Amino acid sequence: MPNKIKHLLLLVSCCLLLLLPAAGWCADTTTNSPSGKIVMSNEQYSQLQTIIKEQETTLAELQSKLDKLSSNSTTLQTQLAAANEQLLKTKNSLQTANGSLTQANNDLQKQSESLQTLTSQINEMTKKQSRLKRQRDTWAIAAGILAVGLVAK
């Protein structure tokens, strides 16, 4: 008999163990999805509406500032394009002026060389003229001495 009781108890235990998962399914262990309604007091609701209005006002101000910045950006881009164009013109003018300065420098160099050549030629001519004058004066003195010597004889 003790064997039969053991078997019977074992059978009853197994049956009870099989019912355990059903107990978990029957229990309210699952979470319910929110119903979509929020409950708040009138004071909280009015505060929420005030905050929303303030944020809408701030958003409108920010939007107007953004629009102004956008129009300013367009103006600045136009000014930047004009400044770049002016910069290119100035750069071209500077390059032209640089070429002109180089040409003028070359011309001045040639004129300086010509001036040095002319100066040396003038110096040579002055020396030659002085030499010729000395020779003429020497011959005049010699002729004068000869004439005095011939007249004195």
Rounded Cα–Cα distance for residues 55 and 64 (Å): 14
Q: Which run of H or of E encompasses 10?
A: helix 2-26
> Mean pLDDT across the chain, nearest whole number?
86
Rounded Cα–Cα distance for residues 82 and 87 (Å): 9
Give the mean pLDDT of 116-142. Answer: 94
Residue 32, pLDDT score = 60
Tens of pLDDT, residue by residue over 121-131, are 999 999 999 99
Rounded Cα–Cα distance for residues 70 and 68 (Å): 5
Rounded to an integer, what is the distance from CA 107 to the centroid of its chain? Answer: 40
What pTM does this model have?
0.42
Which residue stretches of 27-41 are H helix? none
Residue 31 is given by DSSP the state: P
The three-state secondary structure class of 149 is helix
Domain ranges across the chain: 55-123
pLDDT for 139 beyond 60: yes
